[in-house]
Structure 1
Amino acid sequence: MDVCVFVMTCKDLADVLARLFRRGVKIRIITDKEQLQASGSQIWALMKEGIPIRTNDSSYLMHHKFAIVDGNVLINGSFNWTRQAITGNQENLIITEDKNITQLFMREFQKLWEQYDPNKVADRET
């Protein structure tokens, strides 16, 4: 499961990811670096679980909100992974198994995963 989300403060959603990871599901997460310090950020707990997490290294926001399950299912929309998004906000979310669309998001995730590789950042600074 690849998760690319601007902010994740919903403990329930983070707990689901942690349980899946402990059961052997491969999970990778990309999130916005500034949101690591957001009140209630669950990213630190997921890092402690051992889930690989990468963040952007620029002043621009990593503002995506999508997840890809098993390379087949795309979940995409305005929905940040926050309690407020679940309980109060006006949000949209589309779930599709359209391979043409899912493949585009898989490529975007992989591009960002490579772009935000901390080893590459270190290489650029030397």
Structure 2
Amino acid sequence: MSGLLLERLQERDSIEKNFSELFSEPFVDQKAPSRKASEDQLAALKSELESKDREISDLKATLKLKSKDTEHLNDEIITLNIENNLLEERLNKTKAEYDEIVQRWLKKVQQEANVMNDTLK
């Protein structure tokens, strides 16, 4: 078992030596942003996030207000429909009374005309 362990340690050392030869200097990506640039970008993103959060809350408030306005308008429509129905009933009743009055007047005039005709004969 110690032979296997020794063999594995030598293999690991060999791989590590090859690795250190390939990458003798630490790899630094020149395109990677500096810490200051990263912090600036993070601050800008946080600011944008706060702005979007405010915009969302403003839109929610606007939506709530419009919802209340819509509800108010629906209530007004219902009220006006009820009022319209009541006025329609009143109009129909008034028309019926008017027709009855006209019929009575025509009947009275007809009776007067009949009386005049009878007196002339």
TM-score range, shorter chain: under 0.3
Greater helix content: 2
Greater strand content: 1
Which structure has more relative contact order (CA 8 Å, sep 6+)? It is: 1
Tell me the TM-score normalized by structure 2: 0.20
Tell me the TM-score normalized by structure 1: 0.20
Radius of gyration: which is bigger?
2
